[in-house]
Amino acid sequence: DQQVKQNSPSLSVQEGRISILNCDYTNSMFDYFLWYKKYPAEGPTFLISISSIKDKNEDGRFTVFLNKSAKHLSLHIVPSQPGDSAVYFCAARVSGGYQKVTFGTGTKLQVIP
């Protein structure tokens, strides 16, 4: 049962354009959402997060949008840079000291110079 889904396994974007990565979840108990960036053979690197009490969080070129009614979130990268090329994992958890993070299947982003 995949509780966090990323339906696009890959995405190619021209440098300077906007990258939009999408994520859907099914567990209504999730109240905290995270995006991780991962290079091959490295651990996931935390990128940005959003609490369910917000619908938008921005950090530099990265913005995450949350639509709770649709159980959907997205990560926008503007402008996209070649160094952004990596696999991006959407993740979700229930707030609490020991609640695990549940990952999506990942979207491979390629930014073309």
Report CA torsion sign: 18, 19, 24, 28.
negative
Nearer to another protein, 2 or 67 (CB): 2
Contact 92, 3 (CB under 8 A): yes
Residues 94-113 that bind another protein (CB under 8 A): 95, 97-106
Closest to another protein by CB, 3 vs 74, is 3
- Chain residues 21-40 in contact with another protein, contact rule CB under 8 A: 32, 34, 36
Per-residue x/- track, 71-90, another protein (CB under 8 A):
------------------x-
According to the binding rule CB under 8 A, does residue 93 interact with another protein? yes
The reply on whether position 60 binds another protein by CB under 8 A is no
User: Which spans of this chain sit near another protein (rule: CB under 8 A)?
Assistant: 32, 34, 36, 41-46, 49, 51, 89, 91, 93, 95, 97-106
